[in-house]
Amino acid sequence: MARGGGELIREHMSGKFIIPREELMHPGHSACPGCGEPIAMRLLLKALGPRTVMNVPAGCCAVIPGVWPRYSLKIPLIDHAFECTGATSSGIRAALDAKGMNDITVVGWAGDGGTVDIGLQSLSGAIDRGTDFLYVMYDNEAYMNTGSQCSGSTPWGAWTTTTPGGNEISHRTGKKRILEMLVENGISYAATVNIAFPEDLIKRAQIAQSIRGPKFLHILSPCPSGWKMDPSKTVEVAKLATQTGMFPLYEYRDSQYQFTEEIKDRKPVEEYLRLQRRFRHLSPTQISEIQNLVDNRLRELDARMEASRK
Amino acid sequence: MIDALTANQAAAIAAKLARIEVAAVYPITPQTTISEMMAEMVSRGELDARFMLMESEHSAMSALIGASYVGARTFTATSSHGLALMHEVLMWASGVRRPIVMPVAARTIGGPWNIWGEHMDVITERDVGWMQFYCENNQEVLDTVLMAYKVSEDPSVMLPAMVVIDGFILTHTVDAVSVPEQHLVDEYLPSFNPDPVLNIDDPRRFGGLIMPDWWTEFRYRIALDMEGAKKRIQEADAEFGKIFGRNYGGLVENYRTDDADVVLVIAGSAAGTAKEVVDHLRDEGLRVGVARMRVFRPFPSEEIAELNSKDVIGVFDRSYTFGDGGAMFNEVRSAMHGSDNIIKNYVGGLGGRDVTAAHIEWIFRNMLDILDNGLDRKIEWVGLRDGSGRW
Ligand SMILES: Cc1ncc(C[n+]2csc(CCOP(=O)(O)OP(=O)(O)O)c2C)c(N)n1
Ligand SMILES: [Mg+2]
């Protein structure tokens, strides 16, 4: 049973917080070496506990839990079509409620393409219906399961197989701001989290679990094969994403935005970019363009937080 | 109790009598009044179901698949473009064995736009692993929704079912319908208790990745169970007759076919017209009959093969699939393969055009003419404005 939000937050603030020991993800999954997704899954399930059911669309998330009849998770899991994660969660929730099983946490777990592009309509509908569930988007910043095609969550300048030059006309605006879109849609709680900050990930997941209504977690999840990086550097790269401001950690709760991981001594984006060959083609000018984008984005986020506190 | 009901009202009442637990709806003509009536029943407290407003038919079907795993009896209704949009998840529903029941107000699919009745939407979905029941009248709609749950949820079947209602002709036309008493429905249709079911204490994965080493076996199981559903449908129909005093002849309803020389195979509301015409031609001493295709999936191969002894078979398609004749025609012809009778395809009643008694009478006289003079042509579009339509 989820604990109350207030109690949880006090516990987290007291500094005693530890990562739960119970393992709900077991060996035998079929992720690539260095994949961020199983790290994210393992942490999330530790946070939520065993009274959790999950539904997943197409994507690496449909492959990683194992190939029938093998299965590496210790929670019930439903696989479904690509664009209907939100709707499927709504249906599971409705039936659990009809059967009086209100204490079970329903999680929709989907990739970035399955969320910000093809699954956006369904997610928006689930928020509109007020479905009591947690939607988790693990973000590897492209359609990875089909071989690294550009998605609406691919950062500006990144190489993918459909943006071979890095900066294609068709993807000029960079990453869609999914969290802010969902806030405007009426979501109850939303946060960005990062596998390189596991305590924070667990805190945000548990806070989300304690709140009724539709909740959203956006997890950065490096993909060594798609990002063309050393698979032993997954956590290092993920950490740099936040330390450089490429992937700031913040939440939306009680109508307010706030940073959840203050970035002190922000590092230049180049430190993050140079570890990944998907950014290898970038010229110094383009790298400083990305630095500008990040600076602007953080200023804009600051302003948004300021405004939400008024 | 006898009520004056449209087929859509009958479908909504049937859902209530079936004690559905989760419904997910999205509007489309001519289905919408089913959802509207259910919304009213829920808001008046007469229907104790979770009633979800969806953002698309694709989402409606996806939500029901999720709900069905938890063990809820689920319901939606759609039509036309809505059914087409569901295509992908229709295959999911049957592939992962969810016994969802869905009335479909059968209608054209654009473009150009046309909101009226024909069977193109449902015929297009004949290959997705759903059972398909075609109803002749409003009473049959109510009764078939109940029967469909009974068959779908049978542990040996576990496949979803469409209950096909001719758009406008039935969906929006009032007819006398006997509404069964709840306690009799409860006796006929026990609650839904699937096994396995989504359960925290027995964490399983449903619908996960299957490799080539097992996929064929999974598909084979569906094929076997679809085949087995034929018997379940006959049993469900017979048991329905025992409890409620009316039934429908299983998969194919033969009407005055025993001594007939020529038989018209036809589905949906037009079968009612065809039966009237048969009565009238019989008065003239003409040996004609109707085989009403009540169930198109599973396909009633045995029942159709029993018509092998008839000299001339006509098959009426209320849709056209641009093959070697219409879809029903082709399947009937293939079930009769090897017999030496003559089979002809009649196509008509498209986009809301009436199938009149005059059309049907023309068809029967044409078949009798073939009996004497041999096949004139394989495919005949009936009731075209300029009288052409033959090749
Ligand atoms: C309707 C539909 N279109 C396309 C696909 C093909 N497809 C399967 S997985 C996938 C990529 C998923 O990308 P994302 O959601 O980002 O998850 P990832 O694979 O990166 O983990 C695509 C395009 C599909 N399964 N269904
Ligand atoms: Mg992805």
What span, in angstroms and rounded, lies between the C-alpha atoms of A113 and A141?
8
Ligand 1 atom 3 nearest Cα: A82
CA of B380 to the centre of ligand 2 (A): 52
Least CA distance to A93: which residue of chain B?
B67
Answer yes or no: is pLDDT of B124 > 70: yes
Peptide bond into B298 cis (omega under 30): yes
Residues whose CB falls within 8 Å of the CB of residue A2, separated by 6 or more in sequence, listed in order: A103, A105, A206, A209, A210
Residue-wise pLDDT for B176-193, tens only, equals 999 999 999 999 999 999
Domains and CATH numbers, chain B: 2-244 (3.40.50.970), 252-381 (3.40.50.920)
Residues whose CB falls within 8 Å of the CB of residue A275, separated by 6 or more in sequence, listed in order: A229, A230, A233, A236, A237, A240
Burial class (CB in 10 A: 0-12, 13-18, 19+), A301: middle
Closest ligand (CA of A35): 1
Answer yes or no: is pLDDT of A1 > 60: no
- Taking CB atoms and an 8 Å limit, are A99 and B70 in contact across chains? yes
Joined tokens for residue B124: 């297009």
CA of A169 to the centre of ligand 2 (A): 20
Average pLDDT, chain B: 97
What ipTM did this prediction achieve? 0.97
Do B293 and B315 contact (CB within 8 A), yes or no? no
Ligand 1: which of A29, A88, A116, A144 to mutate, most ligand atoms within 8 Å of CB? A144
Residue-wise pLDDT for B338-354, tens only, equals 999 999 999 999 999 99
Give A173's pLDDT tier (boundaries 50, 70, 90).
confident
Q: Which of A78, A99, A122 sits opposite B59 (nearest CB)?
A: A122
Q: Report residues whose beta carbon is within 6 angstroms of any ligand 1 atom.
A: A 58-61, 82-83, 110-114, 140, 143-146, 151
Q: Choose from A48, A68, A89, A128 for mutation: most chain B CBs within 10 A.
A: A68
Predicted pLDDT at B348? 97
DSSP structure string for chain A? -PPPHHHHHHHHHTT---------B-S---PPTT-SHHHHHHHHHHHH-SSEEEEE-SSHHHHTT-STT---BSS-EEE--TT-HHHHHHHHHHHHHHTT-TTSEEEEEEESIIIIITTHHHHHHHHHTT--EEEEEEE-SSBTTTTSB--TTSPTT--BTTBTTS--GGGTT-S--HHHHHHHHT-SEEEEEETT-HHHHHHHHHHHHHS-SEEEEEEE---HHHHT--GGGHHHHHHHHHHTTSS--EEEETTEEEESS--SSPPPHHHHHTT-GGGTT--HHHHHHHHHHHHHHHHHHHHHHHHHH-
Mean pLDDT in residue range A209-226: 98
Sign of CA dihedral B97, A113, A277, A261: negative
Mean pLDDT in residue range B56-70: 98
Q: For ligand 1, what atom is nearest to the CA of residue A151?
A: 16
Residue with tokens 């490799």: B211
Share of chain B above pLDDT 70, in %: 99
Predicted pLDDT at A2? 45
Burial B62-85 (b: 16+ CB within 10 A, else e): bbbbbbbbbbbbbbbbbbbbbbbb
Answer yes or no: is pLDDT of B94 > 60: yes
Residue-wise pLDDT for A75-96, tens only, equals 999 999 999 999 999 999 999 9
Domains and CATH numbers, chain A: 6-308 (3.40.50.970)
Do A204 and A179 contact (CB within 8 A), yes or no? no
Provide the Cα torsion A110, A116, A119, A123; round to 10°.
Answer: 90
Ligand 1: which of A82, A88, A278 to mutate, most ligand atoms within 8 Å of CB? A82
Q: How many CB pairs under 8 A join A and B?
A: 161
- Taking CB atoms and an 8 Å limit, are A65 and B56 in contact across chains? no
Which residues of chain A make contact with B211, given a CB cutoff of 8 A? 67-68
